[in-house]
Homo-oligomer: A and B are copies of this chain.
Amino acid sequence: MKVEKPGKKESLEPTRSELEILQVLWQHGPNTVRFVNDQLNEQKREVNYASTLKLMQIMVEKGLLVRDEKAVKHVYSPISEENKTKGLLLDKFVDSLFNGSVSSLMVHLLDNKHASQQELDAIQELLKKAKKDIK
């Protein structure tokens, strides 16, 4: 598979670890390695500071993050806005697992997630709006 390697063909596709870091930055805004590392340890799993640092450096090289070095404590920010990245990942996920079929995904989603009444209502509203937008 010289031509297209998973996670390599689309060089902007974050690895699993990178995605975890992006999530912290999406949630809390631009931040230092220390902060991200602490959050990961709190919310996800045990991660060594130097590991987090290294990953974030690589993400800068890959064009996923940008680093502000004005202070001694460097502040990292995602380059691409959250919605864009999530959209890309969602696209890929639906294409990958459901052949691009939104309704096919919905079948599984409603089956497995046991969405609450509130969520179903909210989704219904979204649907109405989407249908209106099409017309």
Contact = CB atoms under 8 A, between A and B. Distances in A.
B117 A131 contact: yes
A126 B108 contact: no
A71 interface: no
A interface, over-half SS: helix
Interface in A1-21: 1-4, 6-7, 15-17, 19
Interface of A: 1-4, 6-7, 15-17, 19, 23, 44-48, 51, 83, 86-87, 89-91, 93-94, 96-98, 100-103, 105-113, 115, 117, 119-120, 122-124, 126-127, 129-131, 134
| A-B complex: 8 closest residue pairs judged by Cβ atoms | A6-B16, A87-B112, A103-B122, A4-B45, A110-B130, A102-B115, A3-B46, A103-B119
